[in-house]
Amino acid sequence: MPVDHYENFPVASILLPGHLRRPVELIYQFARQADDFADEGDLTDAERLRLLDGFRTELRLIENGSKSENAMFDDLADIIRQHRLPYGLFHDLLDAFSQDVVKKRYANFDEVLDYCRRSANPVGRLLLHLYGAATPANLHLSDNICTSLQIINFLQDVAVDYQKNRIYLPQDEMAKWGVSESMIAAREAGGVWPDFMAMQVGRMLQMMRAGAPLGRILKGRTGLEMRMIVAGGTRILEKISSKQGDIYRHRPKLDAADWALMMYRSIVI
């Protein structure tokens, strides 16, 4: 489950068992603050990287058993020890956010997947460790869900990301379909754009379905939470398709009716 722009999906929701809510909130707080260093405000790239390096320093402190002066990291150290969470996954998140500062284009889909491996997949893997369900098979299913959620967010936010001089759509695929940066700048949703977006949506539906069995493997409220997340990602893709990929004028958002449909699908289907 991707950590930036979680607005569309449940984060430490009431579906989670109470004893897991605080650990999930802490993981989200760590990721949210670090992501804001890379994205928010008018900082220079050097200042953004310096702030992220500060988080790395704090993370290494607690990793080495030292006490941090940052209360969040002291709390984080407690849950990492309690649940035996891998420090490498937190470092992966920081690496991804640092990459956002310096890398603005992605040559191909493999590069996008590599970014998602560090920006999104670590959160799903951390959750599985919290659940005591981090088997190799479950981790693979989780990676499919988290990568698809991250890329769904990219599809939603093509215009938003372009304002930050970022394009996460693979450059070789854009060239193949005849999609130019000038089209994105002009917010053109006609011509080849609907078919290009239909291809992107179809690929993410396939990836989401590949990970969906995890929602039935996990039991109880954690399984329901996972099924809701899968249903949310799927619903966003359906909304993109219903507008022929025009995310400029119709950026998909989940409303009350969508949440009801997601719950129905999560329980009945």
Q: Give percent helix, percent strand, percent coil of the chain, each to the nearest 5.
A: 70, 0, 30
Q: Report whether pLDDT(18) > 90.
A: no
- Count of Cβ atoms closer than 10 Å to residue 239 Cβ: 19
167 DSSP β-pair partners? 105
Question: For 210-247, what is each residue's pLDDT tens digit?
Answer: 999 999 999 998 999 999 999 999 999 999 999 999 99
Q: Report whether pLDDT(142) > 80.
A: yes
Question: For 39-57, what is each residue's pLDDT tens digit?
Answer: 888 899 999 999 999 999 9
Q: Report whether pLDDT(12) > 60.
A: no
Q: Report whether pLDDT(5) > 70.
A: no
| pLDDT band, residue 3 (cuts 50/70/90) | very low
Work out whether the CA dihedral 53, 54, 55, 60 comes out positive or negative: positive
